[in-house]
Amino acid sequence: MDPTVADCPSWLATLLHQASGTVPFRQFMDWALHHPEHGYYGSGRVQIGPQGDFATSPSLGPDFATLLGRQLIDLLRTLPDQTGRLSLVEVGPGEGDLAADLQAVLARHAPDLIERCELVLVERSACLRQRQQHRLEGIGGCPVRWCAIEELQAAPVQGVVLAHELLDAFPVDRLVLHQGELQLQGVRLQQQNQLDWTALAIPAPLQKELESSGIVLPPPGSDDGWTTEWHSTLRPWLESLASSVTDGALLVIDYALEASRYYTARRSEGTLMAYCKGIAGLNPLVHAGEQDLTAHLCIETLTQAAAHYGWQLQDQRRQGEALLALGLASDLHALQQLPATELAQALKRRETLLRLVDPAALGDFHWLLYSRGAGADRLSLATGPDNAGSRPG
Ligand SMILES: C[S@@+](CC[C@H](N)C(=O)[O-])C[C@H]1O[C@@H](n2cnc3c(N)ncnc32)[C@H](O)[C@@H]1O
């Protein structure tokens, strides 16, 4: 097991004391990211963007929203009931860039939808909610509201839910192979306010979930110390989302791997990464509340959990392919027509568009389209610039 110790900030030491000194890693990650006062997201300390801690596709400029907007417009137009109100729900909007840019895309390309659509933003961090409200202030488009998932459950909607780089910020359980036995990784408060790792027994409900997944854990050939992540928090979230949406789609865009690449002996340290000021680090225990922690999704476990709550996987592709099918190559070509006076802007946009499809980075993101309810099987991702996505009726 990783012997690394780290200083424990006093707010976390207090919480750990209250929990008898030891908690599963998942609880540590939840506090480090989402504690309302001290967590990296909860406190609003996160800075997303090219000059921030990490850049996401929407934070690079409006081009991503323009391309994704074509897909979302098509999905909204393909939903069965075209008479009622439609909701475009973004969960985890971060700085609010995507929501703001999507408003402009809808106004320009789907004024008919503006009449019938609302934008619903679901954000766990009160600080980020405020930043999003500020970002969207004065921007026209559909009516916007912020709400908790429980409010959606009380009044379910029809529409499309977008989860862009949301689920990689969900707290994960970590499993460690220790002397031939798989154990739950825990975080323990030592004397002199030091944090270090410890091993705990896997609780029965998690053990049951692992056994019913069909994934062999640990994979054959794993050495002692082999470590991986398990997304135990996906199920409750998908369940609450299922009772929030009557008919519609869920588009997950995130770091993801197939189970055969996730749970292998060779991936012996899992996928968990820490990010601070643009630099990736490997020790998740240091700077609790001041650095991002993120873990890749496993496509099969997400899809299994989704299916359990009625979300069927309809389509999937890598971001590079998805964006090319939505017309990225034509957008690149159109930059050549810009006048020489706009050269600097054209070059910057060219760099962004290429970054979005770079197979070694954002282009490798997975787009996973799930749907539920009436007409669910008619929804799909675009297959070419002339077909934004829906299958003919
Ligand atoms: C990695 S950031 C991504 C931000 C944005 N989607 C982007 O791509 O730029 C994760 C976002 O999800 C929010 N978040 C995390 N867990 C959440 C939850 N359970 N419900 C709502 N928002 C959540 C965070 O506060 C943050 O806004």
- Considering only CA atoms, which residue is closest to atom 24 of ligand 1? 92
Least confident of 7-11, 83-87, 358-362: 83-87
Q: Which of 242-246, 279-283, 388-392 has the highest mean pLDDT?
A: 242-246
| pLDDT band at 389; cut points 50, 70, 90 | low
376 lines ligand 1 (CB under 6 A): no
Please report which confidence band the pLDDT of residue 1 belongs to, taking 50, 70 and 90 as the band edges: very low
The whole-number pLDDT of residue 342 equals: 86
Q: How far is the CA of 223 from the centre of ligand 1 (A)?
A: 34
CB 87 within 8 A of CB 118: yes
Task: Using pLDDT thresholds of 50, 70 and 90, give the confidence band for residue 390.
Answer: low
R_g over Cα of the chain: 22
**Structural contact between residues 187 and 197, judged by C-beta atoms closer than 8 angstroms:** yes
Which residue, judged by its Cα, is nearest atom 18 of ligand 1? 124
Please state, in angstroms and as integers, the Cα–Cα distance from residue 359 to each residue in 170, 279, 335, 349, following that order. 24, 20, 22, 18
Residues 6+ apart with CB under 8 A from 386: none
pLDDT value, residue 386 = 57
**pLDDT band (50, 70, 90) for residue 289:** very high
Is the CB of 92 inside a 6 Å radius of any atom of ligand 1? yes
CA atoms within 13 A on the CB side of 169: 27
Determine the Cα–Cα distance for residues 143 and 110; give it in Å rounded to an integer.
Answer: 14
| Ligand 1 contacts CB of residue 301 (under 6 A) | no
Ligand 1 and 117: CB distance under 6 A = no
- Note the pLDDT of residue 393: 38
How many percent of the chain have pLDDT more than 70?
Answer: 97
CA of 47 to the centre of ligand 1 (A): 12
Distances (CA, A) of 318 to 208, 275, 295, 321, 364: 31, 23, 18, 6, 6
Backbone angles phi, psi at 111, to 5 degrees: -60, -30
Measured CA to CA, the distance from residue 110 to residue 101 in angstroms comes to 13
State the average pLDDT for the chain.
Answer: 94
**Gap from CA of 41 to ligand 1 centroid (Å):** 8
Kindly indicate the confidence band of residue 374, based on its pLDDT and cuts at 50, 70 and 90: confident
Q: Return the domain boundaries, the chain.
A: 6-43+172-230, 57-170+232-274+293-378
Name the residue at shortest CA distance from atom 20 of ligand 1.
124
Q: Per residue in 100-139, pLDDT tens?
A: 999 999 999 999 999 999 999 999 999 999 999 999 999 9
If you take atom 1 of ligand 1, which residue's CA is the nearest one? 165
Give me the pLDDT at residue 388, please: 59
Over pLDDT 90: what percentage of the chain? 88
Which tokens go with 254? 């995130």
Residue 324: its pLDDT value, please? 97
**Residue indicated by tokens 């600080």:** 127
Cβ of 91 closer than 6 Å to ligand 1, yes or no, is yes
Distance from the alpha carbon of residue 262 to the mean position of ligand 1, in angstroms? 23
Is the beta carbon of 41 within 6 A of some atom in ligand 1? yes
Name which of 201, 256, 203 is nearest 234 in CA terms.
256
Distance CA 243, CA 152 (A): 8
**Cα(48)–Cα(56) distance, rounded to whole angstroms?**
7
Mean pLDDT for 65-88 is 92
- State the distance from the centre of ligand 1 to the C-alpha of 237, rounded, in angstroms: 13
Across the range 221-240, mean pLDDT stands at 97
**pLDDT tens track for 345-365:** 999 999 999 999 999 999 999
* Fold of the 57-170+232-274+293-378 domain: Rossmann fold (3.40.50)
- Check residue 55 and give its pLDDT: 93
Q: Which two tokens stand for residue 189?
A: 């408060």
Q: What is the pLDDT of residue 369?
A: 98
| Predicted pLDDT of residue 391 | 47
pLDDT at site 7: 92
What's the rounded Cα separation, in Å, for the pair 171 and 232? 8
Q: What separation, in Å, do the N-terminal and C-terminal C-alpha atoms of the chain show?
A: 55
Q: Tell whether the model's pLDDT for residue 39 goes beyond 70.
A: yes
Question: pLDDT grade, residue 198 (50/70/90)?
Answer: very high
- Say yes or no: CB of residue 58 within 6 Å of ligand 1: yes
Q: Which residue has the tokens 């994704």?
A: 68
- Mean pLDDT, residues 45-72 taken together: 96
> Which atom of ligand 1 is least distant from the CA of 168?
1
Confidence of residue 191 (pLDDT cuts 50, 70, 90): confident
Q: Is 165 in the pocket of ligand 1 (CB under 6 A)?
A: yes
Ligand 1 pocket test, pick from 89, 124, 149 with the greatest ligand atom count within 8 Å of Cβ, gives 124
SS3 track for the chain: CCCCCEECCHHHHHHHHHCCCEEEHHHHHHHHHHCCCCCCCCCCCCCECCCCCECCHHHHCCHHHHHHHHHHHHHHHHCCCCCCCEEEEEECCCCCHHHHHHHHHHHHHCHHHHHHEEEEEECCCHHHHHHHHHHHCCCCCCCEEECCHHHHHHCCEEEEEEEECCHHHCCCEEEEEECCEEEEEEEEEEHHHEEEEEEECCCHHHHHHHHHCCCCCCCCCCCCCCEEEECCCHHHHHHHHHCCEEEEEEEEEECEECHHHHCCCCCCECCCEEEECCEEECCCCCCCCCCEEECCEEHHHHHHHHHHCCCEEEEEEEHHHHHHHCCHHHHHHHHCCCCHHHHHHHHHHHHHHHHHHCCCCHHHCEEEEEEECCCHHHCCCCCECCECCCCCC
